[in-house]
Amino acid sequence: MILVQQVVGGLAIGLVYGLVALGFVLLLRSLDLINFAQGEMMMVGAFLALGAWQGLGLPFPLAFVAAVLATAVVGLVMDRLVAHPLRHASLIHLVIATVAVSLFLKNAALLLGGPEPLVFPSLFGETPVTFGAVRLAPHTLLILGAALGLVGLLQGFFLWTRSGLALRAVMADAEMAALLGVPLARVRAVAFALSAALGATGGILIAPLVFVSFDMGSLGLKAFTAAALGGLYSIPGAIWGGLLLGVLENLLAGTISSGYRDALVYTILIAVLVGRAIRR
């Protein structure tokens, strides 16, 4: 039964990685850009949600939505001030710009929030929920339910909204979409906002399991590894890659040592990237 608990816990964490990985995939497919500030969107979302909930006293659902929307605005600002002016620049300039944004947000969080990590309280406490012989933390169930619901909402966005359909067209073939009248600048701004919102969502969901701190954005590397496992350009692949990574990471922590988690992620990332390079 311990194995079942580890797998379910890994699936919950993996869904968070998958959500954040979707943000990488959206920008890769719409702008052919790897956004190295995606992890910092997790950090920004977690800080804003904690401030709105514990600082301003807002109900958690309202604090959650407000933090996600505010982080989406950060994504829009990043598009307008960084990506749009550099739209004709080489890819390396864009990548370096996202690294600069990452460092700026990290240092801003250090300046405003201080170096000490903050505890993000679990919404439903720490008392395990028992299913037969399996005991699960309440927050694990919250992550599973919320992440699956958000994946469904995202699917609806792509299928039934004009912005979602336009974004799908740009991700499929940007040049053809432009010829058909799709406003590329507007759609790419939507991609930045949605990517940032997904990062914030992942950061808020995983915050009770980790400390909220200025360097929380390092979790973005795990999300990028999940995207790489799923093929980098595949939306379903990002989710499956996140699930696989989460389960592997949790099983390793439970059977050997939690100290090897990061080593596993780096090993998988290097192996996937080397494998892609060899296939080319």
pLDDT of amino acid 280: 64
Q: How far is CA 22 from CA 76, 94, 232, 237, 251, in A?
A: 17, 19, 9, 9, 24
Closest CA to 216 of 118, 101, 95, 81: 118
pLDDT of amino acid 20: 93
Burial 125-164 (b: 16+ CB within 10 A, else e): eeeeeeeeeeebbbbbebbbebbeebbeebeebeeeeeeb
pLDDT of amino acid 134: 67
Euclidean distance between CA atoms 41 and 37, whole angstroms: 7
pLDDT digits (tens, 9 = 90+) for 209-227: 888 999 898 888 899 999 9
| Degrees to nearest 5, angle at CA 156 with 151 and 160 | 160
pLDDT of amino acid 257: 63
Euclidean distance between CA atoms 68 and 201, whole angstroms: 6
pLDDT of amino acid 122: 81
Q: Is the pTM for the entire model greater than 0.75? A: yes
Q: How many CB atoms lie within 10 A of CB 98?
A: 21
What are the residue ranges spanned by the domains of the chain?
2-279
pLDDT of amino acid 1: 61
The list of the chain residues with pLDDT below 50 reads: none
Tell whether domain 2-279 is in CATH 1.10.3470: yes
Q: What are the φ and ψ backbone dihedral angles of 218, each rounded to 5 degrees?
A: -65, -20
pLDDT of amino acid 198: 94
pLDDT of amino acid 31: 84
pLDDT of amino acid 132: 65
pLDDT digits (tens, 9 = 90+) for 61-118: 999 999 999 999 999 999 999 888 887 778 788 888 999 999 999 999 999 888 889 9
Residue spans of beta strands (DSSP E) within the chain: 129-131, 134-136
- Maximum alpha-carbon separation in the chain: 59
Alpha-carbon 203 to chain mean position: 7
Neighbouring residues of 45: CB distance < 8 A, sequence distance ≥ 6? 67, 68, 71, 199, 200, 201, 202, 203, 204
Q: Is residue 157 a contact partner of residue 190, using CB atoms and an 8 Å limit? A: no
Q: Map tokens 């909402």 to a residue.
A: 153
pLDDT of amino acid 171: 87
pLDDT of amino acid 270: 83
